[in-house]
Each structure stands twice: as C-alpha cells, then as structure tokens.
Structure 1
C-alpha cells in the first residue's frame, strides 16, 4: 500500500481523511517540524499540505516554508497543497514554488482521491524515466545500476584505454559481447573495426580459414584470396567469443599470433603483420580445462592478462526489472504495440526466477509476452513464469529480525546482564528495555543476572 503524508493540524480533518483515503497508508504531521521528521522516515511520494500551519494558522507563511523544506529534501515529491476556498493567491504561490497541485476546502473525498491517484501515477512515470535514463551505464548498451554491474563497468573504464588482452568470463547470455563492444568504444581504436567471431559456431575444419584467411587455390573451392577475421579487424578490436571451444589443433597457431602479432593465411607462405587488440570470452571454466589438458596452459595465461567476470542476471537484483522495462520499450517500437508495463506479480516473478539463460532468455520471454499480451500490462502468465516463493519481507520485518538477533547475541555474550548487553550494543539501558518490549523478548528480563 502506498504511503501519503498528511500535514494537517485539524484533528477533525485528519479523521475525515483517514476514513476517506482508504486506498493508502496515511501518516500524519501537525506542524513543520513533525512533517520533516515524517518525511525523512517514510520518504512518501505524495504529500498533502495544509498551508495554515501553527504557529501561524491564519496565514500561509508556515505552510509555504514547509513546502520549500519538503522540496529541498525530496525534490521529486508530489505536494498537494490544501487552502481555504478563497485563498487563490497563496495557492498560486505554492504552485510557483513547486507544488504539484492545490485543492480548496471543504474536503471532497472523491475529488481528493482522484488528485492523489493522479499524483502517484505521475510520480511512478517520472521514477521509471529516471531509472531508464540512469540505467544505461556510461552511454553504453550495458543496462543496470546494481553494485555488481557497476563494479564490472568500472573495470571496463580502466582497461579500455590500454592494449591489455582481456578475458571475459560469464554464463551464456550475460552480455559478454556487449562488454567487449563497450571496451572497444572507449578505446583509442573506437574508429576502427570491431570484429567478432564465435569459435563454437564454426566447424573445426573451417575455423582456421575463417580466422586467418586463405590464399587462392589453398583448397578445393578457394577461387580467390580471402581475408580472415583477424585481418579484417586490423587496427581495431577482435573478439574471440567462446574461445574455450577452440580446438587444440588451432590453439598453438592462435598463441603464436597473440605473441608475435603475425599471421599466415591458409595455403600461404608469407607472414603478415597485424595490429589488433584481442578480447576473448567464454562461459567455460578455462582453469579446469587446463587441468584436464583440453586447453593449452600457455594460451590461457596469454589471453587472461586481465580477467573480467560478468555477473549473471540472477546476481543483479533489481536490474532485472530495469532491463525488462528497457526491452519492453524496445519491443513496443519494434512490433508497434502499446504495452505499458508489468503487473506486480509479473515483476515479482521476474525477480525470483533463476534465469538460467540470463539476458538472452529475458529477451525471448519478453518478446513473446509483448506479442501475446491481452492487456496493457504483462502478467506472469504472459511471461510463462511462476511467482511462487516470491514473498518479499518488508524493511520493517527485516529490521525486526536483525535487531532481535543482535540483541539475543549480545545478551548471550553478556551472560544475561542487560547493562552489559546495552553497552555492547551501543545503546542505553532504557532503549534496550524499549526494544525488548517492542519485540516481545520478555524472557530476557525474566532471566536477567546482575553479575
């Protein structure tokens, strides 16, 4: 349930609003000081503010000062000012200061409900737009603002200006090529080619000629000299995707290229110098493959001068929803659809699904959901996901569990002495008593010792 902060000193109006605005959780404040306290505590998206606050209820000076303080602390907050039925001058002044809307007494619950609902709608849209704008990290195609993805991107920023050979590790579908392109775009080679080749998608007998090219007549069907991917990337960046699938027979030739920066085309005798920055990527555990002797140890150390681990989608928390909204916008344009968002159950399903296929799987789920959706909001059924085990504890519940565990742990270490327990927790004894009463830990008082 969404929270509305009601700043009103009239107890009668407080009661009227409490019974009228049943769709919201109301928290009340009677003056500017208590209003700012409640604002910091609850951080509401919508506030109703009576301009006639004490100690100057006959005028609007205190209410306007309170409005200014609210918007200074929380600029995105939607403040609906409530004025007397003839007080247009102060209402317009409040709008000029940044209030979202104004409403004149007497209170009509139906009208006020509509204004508040509209304020929440605008607030949600603005928050979504801010999230989408801030989600594209560093003006790249990397979307998200979780700590894990920001940490990975900070590594990109550090290695991009260098020529160091980079190994990208991550599960299938995590966006390894997106990271490779981000490195290229921030490198001095940005205006040169970016060439990617998937070592797993090309048959073993063709991979060498794809990489190194071939001379005319090198084999049946070689009717002309053809450049390989390495030569095509000359001056730029080469991504060797899924290098863990490169056959052992080709790894020795790849090692020589990386060390000497020269190649020989298939069927050729001439060494050709190439200036290429190399990025490798794989979902395999190359260290284990080295131990199993299915990947050359010298090549492993040559391609992993620096290693960047890309987090899986399930490790990225709320990024899942941010990426989902960005993809929804993209697919709406692609398929000329008008899907507006996700139901709460759909978002919970997205957050608690394991996503073994990572972003690639999310793309596929959303693409089909956008096409098949019967309403303006995608449901968990449209996504083909289940919301079971999707219960999320409130912050209040999390705090209660954490504080209870901390109190009991400190109490045990203090061998049952509440004074020592309070000292170790950094609080006063009365505060400890209040927490014991709040969380009903009465057994701690009953067994208190005085040693």
Structure 2
C-alpha cells in the first residue's frame, strides 16, 4: 500500500480537463481524492468532512480560491491549502499567502514541483500535529511519581492503573471529593496507547443542561441565541485521545440518554444539526456519588451506569492513608515554598502530629489547601500549629470508642448496628462499599440500620 493511501485530498478547479488530469495523476500517486468545480462547494465539503490538504485554483466563477481559502481557514486554520494560478504575478501569490495558503503553484503545473509541494505541506501539517500531541502529552504528563503515596491502598490503586491503562475499556473512577480522581484519570491517559493524543476534561456539574450538551457535542450556527458560529464540542476535540467526564453523577436524565448513544455508537450530532459525526475516544468518568444508589432511586440510568462501569476504580479517602500524609504534606510544602519564594525546612513535630491525626473530610485537596495556607503565613523556617487552619490546629481529641466492657451491656443488634455505622464512617457513607466490607448485601445493611430507603 502506498504511503499516501490514507491521505485525503480535495481538488477545487473549474477547469474540467485540468481537474480530471489531476484526478488521474493524484490517484496514481496513491491519494484518496475528492474533486469539486467551485469554491462554495469546497467550503461546504470542508465543513462536513475532514481533509488532509486542499489543492485550490485561484480564479473560478463565483467564489474565488482566495475567498474560499479565507472561509475554510476561518473555522479550520490547521488544514494546508495549495493555491494554483495561471497568473504567476506576485500580487496573487502574496494575497493567497495572506489568506492562509501554505504555498502556491503556477499553471501549467510541473509534476515534480507538485509532488514536492504536496510532500512539504503534508510534512509541515504532520509536524504541527506532532507538536500539538506533544503539548497534550506534556499537559497530561502525570506518571506514578506524581501520585504521592506508599500506603497499601495507593499501591493497590497504582497496580490497577498499570493493568487497565493500556486497554480501551471505559473506566469509572469513584471516591470522595478531593481524593485525586482527575490525577488518576490523567495517569491512565498518559500510560495508554492514546497517550500522545488529546486529553480533554469536562466538569459536568459546572454547566447547565443546555450548555453541557453544546460543550460535549458542539453546536451549529444559529442553534440557539448567541450561537453565532459553528462550534466543535469536547468529544470531537478529544478525537483519537481521551475524554474525562468529571462529576458524571450530576448529568440530568435527559442528557444521560444522549450520552449513552455516544458511548454505544461512538457517534454524535451537534446541537441544532442533523449530521451524524463519528468520534474515536476513550471515556473515563468520575463521581463522588454512589451511582448504584442513584440507579435504585431513579436518578441515573441503569444502562448508562453499566456502560460507564466496565472497569471500576475506587480511590481511598485520605483518612485511610495515614502513612501517606507526611509524604503529601512535604510534597505540597516544597511546591508552595518555591511558588512563594520562601525557605521552608519542614514541619514541627506537633504540627505533623496534628496533620496525621486530622480526619481530612476534604481529603488530599483539603491537605493541599492547608499546607498552602501554612506556607503563605509562615515567618520562620518550620511550619507549626500556628500556621495550620484552626479546624486542624485546635481540633479536640475524638471521643473514645466503646470498650469491651461497654459491649457487655449492649444487645447483639446494638453491636451490629454500631459496627455498620463505624464501617459507614470509614467509607465516607458509601453504603454499597460498607455492605461489601461487612460481607452482607445492601438490603441487609439497610435493615440493620433501620433504614428502609
């Protein structure tokens, strides 16, 4: 197979004989070819289908090649355009280049010059794409060294990431807010076969239903008030790469239906459009909600849940990673000390003791914010309790748990209920996870709690 067989060219020329000559020549060279005889049709085609390069005549009836080039470049500046002109004057050449053309050729075309110009423009486009991919890779360059932690819980997470990253499976990342779900999503992407492609993140909770649909799928010009031009959505932006749908549990039911179709068919329609567009993406999703419960209570579609939950990855809360707290605290301290131009040597023993004993309801994000505050307020070289947030520095000791003597005066039902409540606290209120750890089903757990919900 020719090296050019995957390259799709659009030839625009109102001279029938010249157009057919180019068709025969370029197909012989192995290019995939589409030909049209006017600028208007060329612009319309470029809006509907991707082309790797356009070979455009400069003078045509109706829209000129330079006008068509400007129109195409206005919404797709990346596509290379080679202008053909029978008038080899400098004015036409300069105007074509100002319109965004990569180069120009004079008629009659010299075949060697044409072949060289095609190669140069395609090589230039490929180099640009490689640079873009490298930028995406650097933006998402999160390897295991950036995931701080040596606890058994985090070693287990990293082992799962290593196993699932090379696959194409959809992954549902669960865990409390602040546990680092997007860090893990970037880690999966960076270690996948799509690592050189784009990584696109969308916070589904931050947008209204109308805006979310447009953000994900794009919209046509005039689709709604303010839609002054066509816009590609995040799914198309993530083509050949990874899209991360954060807070997936916040998507309204009506949007869930549309998202399900994209996941199943890998195709979408822009808002206000009827054209079906194919998209090649890997989907990672995250939520701090119990989606199984959301399904039970009718707030989340069961079929979408199963589509997203092909592989599940639950991140442990920071309170279950006490041995990681000093490592994380020192990591954040170095970052913020450098950012604020301060010489910080570490934490006092009392300050570190407070950090380790804190329950961290906000998880790693709360710890990061606490350390940043401490560095900003610090005057000396060591962070003490004085620089820590009051909720951490002045926290009282937790009430002691019931002793064995207390259990002697409790009924078995009371002891079981206490065990269930204790387990629920450990897993942040996740009833499905608590039931799994206790070795019972969810219905039994609810019964022991006296909760019929």
TM superposition score normalised by structure 1: 0.55
What's the secondary structure of 2:284's corresponding residue? Answer: strand
1:375-406 deviation digits (Å, cap 9, x = unpaired): 2111122112236549xxxxxxxxxxxxxxxx
1:227 to 1:137, Cα distance in 2 relative to 1, 3 A: closer
- Between the aligned partners of 1:244 and 1:197, the Cα distance in structure 2 is 13
- Between the aligned partners of 1:307 and 1:269, the Cα distance in structure 2 is 34
Quick check: 2:173–2:314 contact (8 Å CA) kept in 1? yes
Quick check: 1:148–1:316 contact (8 Å CA) kept in 2? yes
Quick check: 1:137–1:143 contact (8 Å CA) kept in 2? no
* Pairing 1:267–2:257 present: no
**Aligned counterpart, 2:297:** 292
**Aligned counterpart, 2:117:** none
* Pairing 1:347–2:352 present: yes
Equivalent residue for 1:247, pick from 243, 249, 252 = 252
**Aligned counterpart, 2:168:** 163
1:196-240 deviation digits (Å, cap 9, x = unpaired): 000001122211000000011111211111011111000000000
Quick check: 2:142–2:190 contact (8 Å CA) kept in 1? no
What's the secondary structure of 1:195's corresponding residue? Answer: strand
Equivalent residue for 1:306, pick from 305, 311, 315 = 311
| Cα RMSD for the two superposed structures | 1.7
Quick check: 1:243–1:282 contact (8 Å CA) kept in 2? yes
- TM-superposed deviation, 1:137: 9.7
What's the secondary structure of 2:192's corresponding residue? Answer: coil
**Aligned counterpart, 1:129:** none
**Aligned counterpart, 2:387:** 382
- Between the aligned partners of 1:140 and 1:274, the Cα distance in structure 2 is 32
Larger Rg belongs to: 1
- Between the aligned partners of 2:351 and 2:295, the Cα distance in structure 1 is 42
- Between the aligned partners of 1:215 and 1:138, the Cα distance in structure 2 is 38
* Pairing 1:148–2:153 present: yes
- Between the aligned partners of 2:230 and 2:160, the Cα distance in structure 1 is 40
- Between the aligned partners of 2:272 and 2:247, the Cα distance in structure 1 is 26
* Pairing 1:210–2:225 present: no
1:21-57 deviation digits (Å, cap 9, x = unpaired): xxxxxxxxxxxxxxxxxxxxxxxxxxxxxxxxxxxxx
Equivalent residue for 2:190, pick from 165, 185, 188 = 185
Quick check: 2:167–2:192 contact (8 Å CA) kept in 1? yes
What's the secondary structure of 2:219's corresponding residue? Answer: coil
* Pairing 1:333–2:338 present: yes
What's the secondary structure of 2:319's corresponding residue? Answer: helix
1:334-353 deviation digits (Å, cap 9, x = unpaired): 00011110011111111110
* Pairing 1:359–2:364 present: yes
Pairs within 5 Å for 1:1-400: 139-384=144-389, 385-386=392-393, 388-389=396-397
Equivalent residues, number: 256
What's the secondary structure of 2:313's corresponding residue? Answer: strand
Question: Structure 1 stretches (4+) deviating beyond 6 angstroms?
Answer: none
Quick check: 1:137–1:145 contact (8 Å CA) kept in 2? no
- Between the aligned partners of 1:373 and 1:360, the Cα distance in structure 2 is 20
- Between the aligned partners of 2:227 and 2:396, the Cα distance in structure 1 is 58
- TM-superposed deviation, 1:318: 1.5
TM superposition score normalised by structure 2: 0.55
- TM-superposed deviation, 1:139: 3.9
Instruction: Point out where structure 2 has 5 or more consecutive residues left out of the alignment.
Output: 1-140, 399-453
- Between the aligned partners of 2:396 and 2:318, the Cα distance in structure 1 is 19
- Between the aligned partners of 1:281 and 1:179, the Cα distance in structure 2 is 10
Pairs within 5 Å for 1:398-437: none
